[in-house]
Amino acid sequence: MDIKITDVSIKLLDKLCEIEKQCFKQEAFTKQQLTYLLTDYNVIRLAALVNGEIAGFAIARVDIRRNDQFGHIVTVDVTPAYRRKGIAQKLLREIETILRESGIIECRLEVRENNIAALNLYQKLGYKKVGKLEKYYGTAHGLYLTKTLQ
Ligand SMILES: CC(C)(COP(=O)(O)OP(=O)(O)OC[C@H]1O[C@@H](n2cnc3c(N)ncnc32)[C@H](O)[C@@H]1OP(=O)(O)O)[C@@H](O)C(=O)NCCC(=O)NCCS
């Protein structure tokens, strides 16, 4: 399967909203939140194309705290029909490359404690659990993961 990674433009907003709803149901980012993420200059957004169709996308932010800069994975979404084909891994590796090329050496993220697919994905890519986030998602707990980008 040929997976092509490409930049995302605001023109894809409706399609990305549709995928986001498929992936996260009532917890999906709203159209307004996605608009912000697709236009903010500090955000990296990539889509995965399979036969010209968007099979998934990933969004990361560059966070700046005092003198420290780090990458922050905001979301990774793969449409159900294209899951388990390496698309999320490819999107995340590309984001990490872009971060590294900008001189950023750490990437962080939060994930629901019971999201086994995502946890396995992140751990496979080398992210390590560094903390628990009590009731981070309403009543559900989150985990805080980080990776040193080499
Ligand atoms: C999590 C998600 C992004 C994974 O996307 P994907 O393209 O299917 O993932 P990949 O094919 O790159 O899988 C990489 C690894 O992740 C793990 N993984 C992925 N899906 C899994 C599942 N359903 N169960 C267990 N492990 C899983 C595996 O270790 C897998 O490697 P393997 O296939 O060699 O065993 C996708 O299931 C999804 O969009 N889920 C809904 C949205 C979400 O939860 N996003 C992440 C939180 S922000």
Q: What is the pLDDT of residue 18?
A: 98
Cβ–Cβ < 8 Å for 39, 61? no
In the structure, which protein residues have their CB atom closer than 6 angstroms to any atom of ligand 1? 23, 75-78, 83-89, 111, 115-118, 120-121, 124
| pLDDT tens-digit readout, 65-74 | 888 899 999 9
Give me the CATH number covering residue 99: 3.40.630.30
Q: What are phi and psi of 84, to 5 degrees?
A: 65, 30
How many independent structural domains does the chain possess? 1
Segment 124-148 shows an average pLDDT of 95
Helix runs in the chain, H state only: 13-24, 31-39, 87-101, 116-124
In the structure encoding, which two tokens stand for residue 35, read together?
Answer: 């608009």
* CA dihedral of 98, 100, 106, 108, whole degrees rounded to 10: 10
* Residues 6+ positions from 10 with CB-CB distance below 8 Å: 35, 38, 39
Compute the chain's Rg from CA coordinates.
15
- pLDDT of res. 138: 87
Read off the pLDDT of residues 4-41 as tens digits, 9 standing for 90 and up. Answer: 999 999 999 999 999 999 999 999 999 999 999 999 99
Which of 78, 85, 114 to probe ligand 1 with, by most ligand atoms within 8 A of CB?
78
> Could you list the residue range(s) of the whole structural domain that residue 105 is in?
3-148
Taking a C-beta distance cutoff of 8 angstroms, is the pair 32, 50 a contact? no
Question: How large is the average pLDDT for residues 29-55?
Answer: 96
pTM over 0.85: yes
pLDDT tens per residue, range 83-98 = 999 999 999 999 999 9
